[in-house]
Amino acid sequence: MSYLIRKANFADLSPLVEMARTSFVQAFTEGNKIENVNAYLEEAFTEEQFMDEMENPASVFFLLEVDGVLVGYAKVNFVPAQTDLQDNSSLEVARLYLLAEYIGMGLGTVLLTHTINFAKLNRKKYLWLGVWEKNRRAIKFYEKHGLSVFSSHPFPFGDEIQTDFLMRIDFH
């Protein structure tokens, strides 16, 4: 298996949105009302929304390809695109997703390590992200890689308000 991580460009928009929608549904259908999943998809996972995010110079999308197939992505935010903290000394991982059939192969580690290295290259003091409090597998994954919970925030999801843990890793 050979993999490649590269920055997304506008030619990637359609395949990125398609893969992002699939990976989101795979990650969040269990434990959520399908109406809320679908409402969020139509709000946050459209080509228009992704185009706006790709055009934002404070956001970067990294694509993970395995044998030429797009299987995952990460989106990172600098200030002012950050969702919660707005801290110039930090980098936010706004999204990190893999297609379900590629989970458990070490590719999540590859993608997270890439974002950590990107933060360090940009002289950030720490990296942070939000993760749904009920996503135990993701929380364990991030803890295994040195992140720890430092706060939480409400996350509107359809007709519910869910809680996301905020996790971070500090660089020395």
Residue 38 vs residues 68, 72, 132: alpha-carbon distances, Å: 29, 20, 17
Give the span between the Cα atoms of 171 and 121, in whole angstroms. Answer: 11
Q: Report strand pairing: 126-132 vs 90-98.
A: parallel
142 classed as catalytic: yes
Contacts of 117 (CB under 8 A, 6+ apart): none
The structure tokens 């928009």 sit at 13
CB 133 within 8 A of CB 152: yes
Closest C-alpha to 70, from 31, 109, 21, 118: 21
Active-site choice (3, 102, 126, 142): 142
HEC secondary structure over 5-59: EEECCHHHHHHHHHHHHHHHHHHHCCCCCHHHHHHHHHHHCCHHHHHHHHHCCCE
**Residue positions annotated with a catalytic role:** 142
